[in-house]
């Protein structure tokens, strides 16, 4: 009897075990499919690589300065009797404008005196020439050995010619002195400072004012030694662009100073800008003293990869393989400017560059590029 009860109990336990197993199998969740497991991989953004020719550009800074800077001084003395209205600080004067006029009465008198001296010397020379001809006629019956130079009035004739030459030189000086009473602008100029006033008596060498030429401006652009490698070997003629927040002007490199500054260890290129104050054009005005950005056109590299600088880590980038795994690749970076790095070697056209690297990346890590499904997001 007891044995029968034990058998029934064992059979019932076994039956319950079978029922529990069937229930668990029926209610258990199906295993995650391979595709859904793949969708759980980190999401990355990629960019297909393609090499392109690239012209380097240097972005530098320099101050705009006048090519010519002149301190005006008179060559003669006199009293200031007239001043041009534009001959004031900040005024712009065109080439040849009479900026200041000295009293020229004494110089007019000197000119008349010199002209009279020339006329007198010419008359004296003509008289001596006539007397020399008469003497030659009177002595023509004598041989040449018997006639002295004094008898032919040759010394008197030479003296008269010398007097005329001296008188003409004095006349030229008087004319120049008269012209110098008119102080004219040597070029189109910006008046920086005026140091004279009406009625003031000035002497030769007295400073009258300061002028900056507005015909051309120059910029001494400092260039680091490592940047020089990105410029053409022939520096003269390199196109340049001058920029501020409001304007842009074209300019040209005209020369290399050929020196390295002993303190900054920088080389200097001279950039020339024509007509900075736009007197002869409709270009925007660039003022002397402005600090502007100078963009120099550099040499051209035939094949470079331009990649975001954020995608570069210690000289390496992450690439996406065909099997959706990550590969760490070392590259040769030629130059980094702003947010762009230019790569010469280590990459191939058509490769996929990973722009957003997941946390704790590892070579061979499985990633995805498409957006995850909604149910997978909920499951995560």
Q: What is the pLDDT of residues 151-208, one digit of tens each?
A: 556 677 788 889 899 999 999 999 999 999 999 999 999 999 999 999 999 999 999 9
What is the pLDDT, as a whole number, of residue 324?
86
How far apart CA 219 and CA 292 sit, in angstroms, is 9
Which region, left, alpha or beta, applies to residue 275 given φ > 0 means left and ψ of -120 to 50 means alpha? left
What is the pLDDT, as a whole number, of residue 95?
93
Domain ranges of the chain: 58-67+215-301, 68-103+183-214, 104-180, 312-379
What is the pLDDT, as a whole number, of residue 26?
53
What is the pLDDT, as a whole number, of residue 127?
82
How far apart CA 230 and CA 234 sit, in angstroms, is 12
Q: What is the DSSP string of 250-299?
A: EEEEEEEEEEE-TTT--EEEEEEEE-TT-SSS-SPP--TT-EEEEEEEEE
CA distances from 334 to 95, 345, 358 (A): 49, 9, 26
Taking the CA atoms of the chain, what radius of gyration do you get in angstroms? 47
How far apart CA 27 and CA 209 sit, in angstroms, is 102
Positive or negative, the CA dihedral 355, 361, 365, 371 is negative
What is the pLDDT, as a whole number, of residue 315?
87
DSSP H/E element including 106? helix 105-138
Structure tokens at 84: 């041009």
- Evaluate whether 58-67+215-301 and 68-103+183-214 have a shared fold: no
Q: What is the DSSP string of 348-373?
A: -TT-EEESSPPSS--TT-B-B-SPPP
Q: Are 145 and 64 in contact (CB under 8 A)?
A: no
Q: Work out the burial of residue 5: count CB atoms within 10 Å of its CB; fewer than 13 is exposed, 13-18 middle, 19 or more buried.
A: exposed
Q: Which of 238, 229, 224, 222 is nearest to 335 (CA)?
A: 229
Residues in the chain with pLDDT < 70?
A: 1-39, 132, 134-154, 370-380
Positive or negative, the CA dihedral 247, 252, 255, 258 is positive
How far apart CA 310 and CA 99 sit, in angstroms, is 60
Q: pTM for the whole thing?
A: 0.69
HSE (side-chain half, CA atoms, 13 Å) at 117? 19
Q: From 3.30.365, 2.40.420, 2.60.40, 1.10.3470, which CATH number describes the 312-379 domain?
A: 2.40.420
Which region, left, alpha or beta, applies to residue 346 given φ > 0 means left and ψ of -120 to 50 means alpha? left
CATH 2.40.50.100 for the 68-103+183-214 domain, yes or no: yes
CATH class of 58-67+215-301: mainly beta
């Amino acid at each position: 009897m007891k044995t029968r009860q034990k058998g029934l109990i064992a059979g019932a336990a076994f039956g319950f075990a079978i029922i529990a197993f069937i229930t668990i199998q029926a209610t258990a969740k199906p295993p995650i499919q391979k595709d859904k497991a793949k969708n759980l991989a980190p999401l990355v953004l990629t960019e297909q690589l393609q090499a392109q020719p690239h012209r380097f550009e240097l972005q530098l800074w320099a101050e705009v300065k006048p090519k010519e800077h002149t301190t005006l001084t008179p060559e003669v003395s006199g009293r200031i009797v007239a001043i041009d209205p534009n001959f004031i600080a900040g005024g712009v004067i065109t080439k040849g404008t009479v900026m200041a006029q000295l009293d020229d009465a004494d110089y007019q008198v000197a000119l008349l005196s010199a002209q009279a001296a020339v006329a007198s010397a010419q008359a004296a020379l003509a008289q001596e020439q006539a007397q020399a001809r008469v003497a030659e006629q009177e002595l023509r019956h004598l041989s040449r050995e018997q006639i002295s130079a004094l008898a032919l009035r040759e010394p008197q004739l030479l003296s008269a010619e010398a007097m005329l030459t001296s008188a003409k030189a004095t006349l030229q000086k008087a004319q120049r002195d008269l012209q110098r009473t008119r102080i004219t602008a040597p070029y189109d100029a910006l008046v920086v400072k005026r140091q004279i006033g009406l009625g003031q008596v000035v002497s030769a060498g007295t400073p009258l004012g300061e002028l900056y030429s507005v015909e051309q401006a120059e910029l001494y652009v400092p260039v680091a030694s490592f940047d020089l490698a990105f410029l053409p070997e022939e520096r003269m003629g390199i196109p340049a662009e001058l920029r501020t927040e409001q304007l842009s002007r074209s300019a040209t490199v005209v020369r290399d100073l050929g020196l390295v500054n002993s303190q900054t260890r920088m080389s200097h290129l001279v950039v020339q800008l024509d007509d900075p104050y736009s007197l002869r054009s409709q270009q925007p005005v660039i003022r002397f003293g402005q600090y502007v950005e100078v963009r120099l056109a550099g040499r051209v590299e035939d094949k470079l990869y331009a990649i975001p600088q954020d995608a570069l880590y210690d000289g390496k980038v992450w690439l996406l393989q065909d099997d959706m795994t990550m590969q760490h690749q070392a590259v040769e970076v030629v130059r980094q400017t702003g947010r762009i790095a230019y790569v010469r070697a280590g990459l191939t056209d058509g490769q996929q560059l990973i722009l957003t690297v997941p946390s704790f990346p590892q070579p061979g890590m499985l990633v995805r590029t498409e957006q995850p499904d909604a149910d997978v997001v909920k499951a995560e």
